[in-house]
Chain A
């Protein structure tokens, strides 16, 4: 009500501001996003489908799926442990640990990939050891898993920590006095209260794991049919002037983004209530 009074003074202001905001978003986001779908389908659905059945593409899609399936459980376990340790214990340097957890977000993905190469590559720390056991990590699938796990590590911890802190440990202590063991407390008390935060973290982890480009591209060597994930496939196809197959793959990744956004929006509404 009060806002209406001021609105009457200069009623054109909100309209203009909304207009500017939408125009800016359109230039930066909407038009490029729409472009993905138009480019992929401008020759009809036939070429699109035939692009999606090529061997290179199928292999890349399979790898991307595999990366997500492997890294999500690892990061969930790590994230939950880290979140629990940080929110349930007061220890010196806690603030530092909190910001260190965010480190994978602030490091350039290329630098993250470089670190893994320096650690596990042929001339790296573990290089001789790995070579002796005939294990290949860099320029192979395990390296891609490591790179993906690294860049998507903080999401779960980050979403769960605030929820855990908000709930406090009262319920857990109550369960303990009633004779529940640690495992029971986790499954029956802690997990239900953090489930939305955890789910939110999982969705973000999944989006990043499937979409990561920089770190994976440094580590994988980008060999078609072997170490090429879907985002790498998109870049490679574009560079080879196969714009159509690039956009066909991009549509799939774009749909992943749409699904992520929809789930995020639903969860945000749920947690707000």
Chain B
């Protein structure tokens, strides 16, 4: 099987059932979806035209395998329009080449005729495949054009050879014009039908896309929304749990509807949102994340996200009631993250420096990455943690970056050991 042919091409078989001789006519009729008698008569006519039909029959008998033709390999019955067109073409060919052939057994008439037939067969097959294929791939489309071109060249070459061997160039011109006229006529007859096929195909395509989308939405609804609603009904006595479920589902849906579908690894903003989502899930609070600017993560930005996450956890612990605002701005030369809660706040001076949980995980982390952290709070004013760091534009691409990461990791390890 040539790799160029699409998978779902119908294969031609000699039919085991309902055959008179080799099962070729029956097989062809099933393959093309036309009446078996039409095929038989065609073979008969061509047999009288210099034995061409007999030649073809023999060829088919040799090369086409005999078997029960499965339903999947049968064409649907062609509409009468096409039958009519086919007959017309056959008749046209007969009138053009068949009738003048008085001594057709000569090789120089049979070979061009065979060439014409071959070319037409290739063209026919292309048209057939194109109609059946749902969405031609670019690669097969190129192959497609090549094959159509080849078919046309072979057919035209055969036509020219046929006409020039028998007469002078003047005659050839006339015959070519006649052939062209025939082609134009056939095109005119076939055009509306062809257009309708195209329209049907386009319609079917949009229909398919639509149903696919519907299926995707349905799957999403089923997997997440319905599931969450069921869970909510089941734990209606626990408001905190209900709120958490609803919030998580809201986030998922938002992500699905408006999300940028970036992974946390390639986007600072996404990493921050992921961190916020985790804190929301774990502590049952609401975090509003706003980001300006974005960039792929590097060690410094990772540290920022980690520190910000720590600040979010603190806010969630001390101010679980009101919404927590997270704002991150990533500019060319600096990164800033603010985590603000509307909780009770506290007096910074009253807290012993060594007792502050934020020392190592927030302040220390930022320091190691060339930034600093700052906490603003007062009783009744809420708390805001501000993280800033200077950025050099070439930071991520700098060769020493990996080394630096290692140092950082070591520093963080030793920090853990200290605790």
State whether these chains interact. no
Q: Which residues of A are interface residues toward B (Cβ below 8 A)?
A: none
